[in-house]
Structure 1
């Protein structure tokens, strides 16, 4: 069958798959402290159901798959699912987003199962600040990162959400940390998703400001980085470090959006900043055929909006980031 092309002539070739909405951290911009309103395991797609949907996407031209959460390593037997997805026809690039708290115990098995590269959320290198932002221990994340290096993941990308008055004083420290350990660094603007994201709106910082700050200390050369994501990269002269800027607010990238998100409950979200969606779980459990599933996915792609409205309607999206799938 032909590729997935939406109404705005964008080729959809990238799926972000959530395998759980649960997380062992509570990042202030993602999930409220004390939040417990998670879906139950019987509401989650089974490994068989996940494999059916991703196989259908593979037949329709999707070749990039990123496993997310919540925190994906919370899902029991994740390496087994990874290995099943790795062997699906059409899936050429299999990656993982994680907070790395459980990575020291799982890095080798995930690498052997088929994950080639990982993104790790890390918003501070100060233990006390990290605990304040996430409720977790920085040392566990650092242990996970070192285990990932030893396992052979490449590249390892550090994702830092830069927040005004919160951690913007650590931007250069994070650059030096990534130079030292040969990580890639990506700065991300805060987004008004859910109650937590909207309450953090006062912490929003335009990343063009960060880029100008870095340019005063480092020579930044325009660069590229393989992958299906939206970051715009530069390279720090004299090093191998590439720095990406993900700017959904100040410089949105909707015209090149090539991705959709599949939640653990089987909801296919067509845009991070809109409510357009297609429910797949009930169809799977009611005996939909592979042909019908592929047709449903095509119908869903036709719902994909032209762009988000974070600037115009910042309170529009009420679901948490962890519910959407990263």
Structure 2
């Protein structure tokens, strides 16, 4: 499929706009996650309410503006760029953005362009993603049971996701499966999910429920600590700790019996902020320097204020200067409310 070209901004080739991004705690910011839409074709029970109200389309940055914004961060030292949502592949013409951003891979300014997806549209786009230089993706998948999958996603069809994964593997994309551990729902299925993923050469990362946004039910009813899941796995498998680190939240082990890698993301049982190298931008141009804080800085206004990128570069610097040392996620048992009011689909994965 051929996508319309996005005309790239070249203003940030200017040396004075290439100040590297270092936060107040000396951490270099070189990883950007960008939500290109808050919309999704699923309504996962831990992520969204079923009757979600999405942003008016007019509030979203255009694809051209998203390209310019991402390019500004790349000029300032971002080496890894992840497109997220919502579900990024449901945004109209989004492949034109991917193709345009791939120029930074060709120039060597960007090491990796990737995305996180629910897999529902992968069968359509996998080959084109690979053609654009995408080498690996994350697919969110919490169960291999069709009925349970429907219950968790409310609207999803497991067969479409599995077909998308097959298409991505056929296109040569490396895949990591992201699975949210849900109490009484999929916690007993995790060993079989792990064996399935590893058997296809895919990684698997387990994630604790994150208290982000009102979802219509209590997170305490969903939460299971990954320390418990790990202990159960250790009773039947050999887990060897790995030193692998991306500056992100996952801690990795190798499962000796399968030869595969298993990650643990534990926002509630372990604060993973000491080496954080990332920031997140919403589809409206708001930057959040920490997933677990309500902090926000507007980049849309300086982006639109001038064709010159000096205002945008200065706004990025100010935002990075507010990045906190760490988060303190909690599930509020007393008031049954999230730690952070915005939904994950708005934040950018």
- Per the TM superposition, whether the score is higher than 0.5 is yes
> CA shift at 1:226, angstroms?
6.5
Residues 190, 201 of structure 1: 8 Å contact kept: no
One of 159, 162, 174 as aligned partner of 1:139: 159
One of 68, 83, 106 as aligned partner of 2:84: 68
Give the structure 2 partner of residue 84 of structure 1: 100
Cα distance change on mapping 1:147 and 1:191 into 2, 3 Å? same
One of 14, 36, 57 as aligned partner of 2:31: 14
Say which SS state the counterpart of residue 215 (structure 2) adopts. helix
Q: Is the aligned partner of 1:303 residue 2:326?
A: no
CA distance in 2 between counterparts of 1:259 and 1:201 reads 28
- Superposed counterparts of 1:157-176, under 5 Å: 157-176=176-195
Say which SS state the counterpart of residue 212 (structure 1) adopts. helix
> CA shift at 1:256, angstroms?
1.2
Give the structure 2 partner of residue 126 of structure 1: 145
Q: Deviations over 1:284-308 (max 9, x none)?
A: 2221621221111010001111111
Q: Is the aligned partner of 1:258 residue 2:277?
A: yes
Query: Mean alpha-carbon deviation: is it higher for 61-70 or for 82-91?
Result: 82-91
CA distance in 2 between counterparts of 1:226 and 1:66 reads 17
Give the structure 2 partner of residue 318 of structure 1: 341
Cα distance change on mapping 1:236 and 1:125 into 2, 3 Å? same
> CA shift at 1:138, angstroms?
0.8
Query: Mean alpha-carbon deviation: is it higher for 48-57 or for 140-149?
Result: 48-57
Say which SS state the counterpart of residue 194 (structure 1) adopts. coil
Q: Deviations over 1:54-110 (max 9, x none)?
A: 111111111110010000000112221112112135221111100001101110011
Query: Mean alpha-carbon deviation: is it higher for 304-313 or for 24-33?
Result: 304-313
Give the structure 2 partner of residue 45 of structure 1: 61
Flag structure 2 segments of 5+ consecutive residues without an equivalent.
1-17
One of 92, 114, 117 as aligned partner of 1:95: 114
CA distance in 2 between counterparts of 1:173 and 1:239 reads 11
Normalising by structure 2, we get a TM-score of 0.89
Normalising by structure 1, we get a TM-score of 0.95
Give the structure 2 partner of residue 30 of structure 1: 47
Say which SS state the counterpart of residue 254 (structure 1) adopts. coil
Root-mean-square deviation (CA), in Å?
Answer: 1.7
Flag structure 1 segments of 5+ consecutive residues without an equivalent.
none
Residues 182, 240 of structure 1: 8 Å contact kept: no
CA distance in 2 between counterparts of 1:198 and 1:274 reads 21
> CA shift at 1:269, angstroms?
0.9
Cα distance change on mapping 1:144 and 1:312 into 2, 3 Å? closer
Residues 21, 323 of structure 1: 8 Å contact kept: yes
CA distance in 2 between counterparts of 1:259 and 1:285 reads 24
- Give the number of equivalent residue pairs: 324
CA distance in 2 between counterparts of 1:279 and 1:95 reads 24
Say which SS state the counterpart of residue 50 (structure 2) adopts. coil
Give the structure 1 partner of residue 232 of structure 2: 213
